[in-house]
Structure 1
Amino acid sequence: MDWMVNSGKFRSSGVCVMVSNSWCNNANVVTLACSCSPNLELLALKFRPFYLPWEFTSVIINTVYIPPQHITCPTRGKRTLDHCYTPYKDSYKALDHPPFGKSDHAAIFLIQKYKQRLKGETPDQREVGAGQVAALQDALDDALDDADWDMF
């Protein structure tokens, strides 16, 4: 299973599907998709069981495991039952708030962990000379003159 070796995971991982031999045997199972990455594990199988109603030709079972992300605080009592998944690991910080109305689950507020460089540093102030302003104005005038205004 090269797809698991190249997944980038450090611990053993993988999803599986167990099926009774009385329902379907290995000869009637086809792997449609399998993937293993640090953020998602997927196994999609197509089964042709021994008995199905005539309207159905096969059964497709998708097994997906998404490791918990972002929600690290309890959402109901002392347990974390609710999760929020994104394609970016460690990009948000979860803050719990009181539940809305009569809900028994905590409200979760996600804050981006990434802070823009502009907001983290004070901006530099620079003076622009009159010659630079005139050159920019001329370039803008030329661009506006060349525009095909009839297309609008």
Structure 2
Amino acid sequence: MRPHYLPREFTHVIVIAAYIPPSANAEEACNVISSTVSRLQTQHPNALLLISGDFNHASLSKTLPTFKQYVICTTRDNKTLDLLYANTKNAYSSSPLPPLGRSDHNLVHLQPVYQPLVYRQPVPTRTMKRWSEESEEAQKDCLDTTAWDVFTDSHGEDINSLTDCITDYINFCEEHVVPTRTVRCFPNNKPWITPDIKALLKDKKRSIRSGNREELKIVQRELRFLVVKE
């Protein structure tokens, strides 16, 4: 599932619908679900994975200990048979609703309470060099006009001292000719997030708010192409 809005730390959503009959072997059923979940997590390590359904007498607490179960209200009489597991913490709060039609199971209202990663962690900053053709030419000119004999004459045969001195000098030239900028590194950004992808994400949000489905399709297509390319 790829909803219009999803916290950036999740690539997409995978939902598993499960039904374990009362006569089924609970351990065997849980092992089948566990193996399926393991395969999906290997294929999609950054996806939000949800497991929902009627589990009757079965529980995934032993086979999938890293998953959180969110249904805490009773769903049939005084029993909790319908469960929802997720591979992230603090995702939902549950409350009971009346049964649908003549069903003997209550509905469950799951209210999202998940706080995106970008709001839970501070945003660090780091300094980056902005290399360009002009800065490269300036660096070349700086090195071409350097009297390298001064370094070799002052350090003689001490190769380690000479290497350190020349390295410091090159870094000194770089600091003066290459401009720097300070950027914020958001914790929910993947390493492949680029300014072009960020611009398309903003276009996607704008097209969703305006309800322009044709524009949304075009932006989605461009976004998928850039993500695969990166």
TM-score (normalised: structure 2):
0.22
Higher strand content, 1 or 2: 1
User: Which of 1 and 2 has higher RCO (CA within 8 Å, sep 6+)?
Assistant: 2
TM-score (normalised: structure 1):
0.32
